[in-house]
Structure 1
Amino acid sequence: MQRARLRAAAGAARAAGPQGGAPRPDPAPGGRGVGSRVPQRVSTQPGARTHGQSRGADPQAGSLALDLVPDIFAMRVLLEETGEMFQVTNCRGDMTVRELKEELDLIAGIPLNLQQLQYLDQGALVDDSTLNSHDVVPGGIISLCVWHYDGWTDLVSAAVEGDTSKLSCLGVAEESPCQSANAQYLGEKHWKAWVAQRAFVALYIASHRGRVEAVLYLLEHGANCHGRSPMGRTPLHVATAMGQSDCITPLLRYGASVHTKDAKGMTPQAIARQLNHRQDERQMFLSYWMAKSRRKDLKDLNLNKAFQSGKFGSGSKK
């Protein structure tokens, strides 16, 4: 009966649509979410888990066994502050909320430490709880909210829009006029750290969304392209994952590393190779060798020949 109620609730949720607004298209005009790039196949084989199949069950309960709950399924995540909808395709019932946040760090481009997830009316989901414990159903919609303290919601919205006029007033540079409840009590040292953190988050999101003008503005005003999210990802990681080639160029020009590994052991160059972003991989390869050899000519014939012959890679010494 519990499963029957869950299925009824799931049907009602799909009919009513997402909390906070109707589904929106993929967020970045120039790139797609990682979930849509590498879709996971949903299992419909006999080995998939079924509920309601037990000896002695009544006929009505037995008919519910036709509804298969897949081992791997897709979820939709609605970013409440912007109305953007993202898809996470590799969800599992025993997946923890923390693991889902780790996926969203890359898919939604929101650093893990700023995420607050909610499902239906359950309030904030605890990191070590599982999707099963919250009765999350395949295809359901989870709300992603940004923590409201210290003006983070305004900063995230401005970075998503790529609005430099708004960003300039939100504490992304030391000369910024931003006055939050906490900032006015910070000493000089902590003020600089506060500004650096906000500038990095804005750069991370703008790079993920392909907002070139905002990326350039932030880099010119001191945003650190070497900064990392809690998952160890840099702005170059997310720009590469989302295919934002126009943002990769200024990040490399300001010294972003193509060999920095995230918590999953992936470098930006490895991500480009995995997703078959040949032009981005080539650009990172040439940038790396140009910096190493102190050359400024990207048309160096030897480098182009080396790339075309495939005699390169993260471990190559040639």
Structure 2
Amino acid sequence: MQRAADVAGAGTRPPKRQGGDPKAGARPAQPSNRARARVKGHTGDPLASTASPDFAPDVYILRVRLEETGEVFRVANCRNDMTVRELKEELDLMVGIPFNLQRLHFLDQGTLMDDATLKFYDVIPGAVISLCIWHYDGWTELVLAAVEGDPSKMSCLGISEDTYYRTANSQHFKGEQWRQWTAQRAFVALYISAHRGHVDAVQYLLELGANCLAKSPLGRTPLHVVAAMGRTDCIQPLLEHGASIHDKDLKNDTPVTIARRLKRGNLERKLFLLYWMIKSGNRNPNLAGRDASEKSTRGL
């Protein structure tokens, strides 16, 4: 099976048929016989007692392991006809790793292609899918530093224009190309730090110049992942640097609608309260809360 190309830039949206045959309509390679045998219980795999994909429930749970850290995330509402791309879109919010930096693996089938379905790869309820970070251009080191929330490590990994950090890809960049490269890395560091709730790191990156209005390839801002994870402490610094609760991603979701969908009522209220405090310049939370309530009831 041809592996997904690792040349997609961190700031661009991956092509629809990432890693697929360049000829239109070409069918992806079939999963290996060994993988099928493991899923069906021919090698004593502990997953053998679980029903095969053909008899899987309509909606089920998967576990995703971030290999670089060992963290395991529980992903609900998975389906047989769910594509790998759709799963990665969910992981963008749940794990905080931008869509274009994700590499998914299941058993020994190599990198999973975006257009293929979970059923195509014989993924079964309760299975564990491996999530890895693309290693090109020094992304792995930066992602791990952001997961830790360590400003000293991030500062050495190309997040500002005056950095001495270089990769094989960036060593010849100059001018605007260099500014865009460092700005993209600062944004990714901010995105992940905000997702993990590292307030000090978020404040550091914002003061360094990281753009909280920039968007991931799925159109999401750091405030989207803050809303998804309920990181209330990270709301105010983002809003004070210009973040908006009304920015929409490619699915037309705002941070507020994500908080509502995930039943994070306290965070939704705090988003409105702090937003109107900052917009109005009023530091009285009671008055700001009243204004926010009036605006929200009028359908803003």
Superposition TM-score tier, normalisation by shorter sequence: 0.7 to 0.9
Q: What's the Cα RMSD here? A: 2.5
Task: Give the TM-score, by structure 2 length.
Answer: 0.80
Aligned to 1:75: 62
Aligned counterparts of 1:281 and 1:10: Cα–Cα separation in 2: 48
CA distance change for structure 1 residues 304 and 133 in 2, over 3 Å: closer, same or farther?
A: closer
Aligned to 1:8: 41
The answer to whether structure 1 residue 312 and structure 2 residue 299 are counterparts is no
Q: Which has the larger radius of gyration?
A: 1
Aligned to 2:147: 160
- 2:288 is matched by which residue type in structure 1? L
Q: CA deviation at 1:187?
A: 1.8
Aligned counterparts of 1:200 and 1:74: Cα–Cα separation in 2: 31
Q: Deviations over 1:239-293 (max 9, x none)?
A: 1110111111211111111100112221112233344444433332234334444
Q: Deviations over 1:134-179 (max 9, x none)?
A: 1111111111111100000001100000011110100111122211
Matching residue within 203, 221, 228 for 1:241: 228
The answer to whether structure 1 residue 195 and structure 2 residue 182 are counterparts is yes
- Percent sequence identity over matched residues? 56
- 1:131 is matched by which residue type in structure 2? L
SS in 1 for 2:120: helix
Q: Deviations over 1:177-228 (max 9, x none)?
A: 2111111111221111000111111110110011111111111111000111
Aligned to 1:88: 75
Aligned counterparts of 2:238 and 2:194: Cα–Cα separation in 1: 9
Q: CA deviation at 1:118?
A: 0.7
- 1:168 is matched by which residue type in structure 2? S
Aligned counterparts of 2:224 and 2:172: Cα–Cα separation in 1: 34
SS in 2 for 1:90: strand
Aligned counterparts of 1:305 and 1:11: Cα–Cα separation in 2: 62
Asked if structure 2 preserves the Cα contact closer than 8 Å seen for 1:172 and 1:196, the reply is: yes
Q: CA deviation at 1:305?
A: 3.1
Aligned counterparts of 1:155 and 1:112: Cα–Cα separation in 2: 15
Aligned counterparts of 1:262 and 1:316: Cα–Cα separation in 2: 19
Between the two proteins, the alignment pairs up a number of residues equal to 264
CA distance change for structure 1 residues 232 and 121 in 2, over 3 Å: closer, same or farther?
A: same
Asked if structure 1 preserves the Cα contact closer than 8 Å seen for 2:159 and 2:186, the reply is: yes
Aligned counterparts of 1:10 and 1:105: Cα–Cα separation in 2: 33
Within a 5 Å distance, the mapping from 1:119-130 to structure 2 comes to 119-130=106-117
Aligned to 1:39: none
CA distance change for structure 1 residues 137 and 220 in 2, over 3 Å: closer, same or farther?
A: same
Aligned counterparts of 1:253 and 1:139: Cα–Cα separation in 2: 41
CA distance change for structure 1 residues 213 and 291 in 2, over 3 Å: closer, same or farther?
A: closer
Within a 5 Å distance, the mapping from 1:277-316 to structure 2 comes to 277-293=264-280, 295=281, 297-299=282-284, 301-307=286-292, 310-313=293-296, 316=299
Task: Give the TM-score, by structure 1 length.
Answer: 0.76
Aligned counterparts of 2:217 and 2:43: Cα–Cα separation in 1: 33
Aligned counterparts of 1:149 and 1:224: Cα–Cα separation in 2: 23
Aligned to 2:14: none
Aligned counterparts of 1:304 and 1:10: Cα–Cα separation in 2: 60
CA distance change for structure 1 residues 314 and 165 in 2, over 3 Å: closer, same or farther?
A: farther
- 2:260 is matched by which residue type in structure 1? R
Asked if structure 2 preserves the Cα contact closer than 8 Å seen for 1:259 and 1:314, the reply is: no
Asked if structure 1 preserves the Cα contact closer than 8 Å seen for 2:80 and 2:118, the reply is: yes
Within a 5 Å distance, the mapping from 1:1-318 to structure 2 comes to 6-8=39-41, 12-14=45-47, 68-293=55-280, 295=281, 297-299=282-284, 301-307=286-292, 310-313=293-296, 316=299
Asked if structure 1 preserves the Cα contact closer than 8 Å seen for 2:81 and 2:119, the reply is: yes
SS in 2 for 1:132: coil
Asked if structure 2 preserves the Cα contact closer than 8 Å seen for 1:74 and 1:87, the reply is: yes
- 1:166 is matched by which residue type in structure 2? K
SS in 1 for 2:63: strand
Asked if structure 2 preserves the Cα contact closer than 8 Å seen for 1:49 and 1:71, the reply is: no
Aligned to 1:30: none
Aligned counterparts of 1:10 and 1:185: Cα–Cα separation in 2: 50
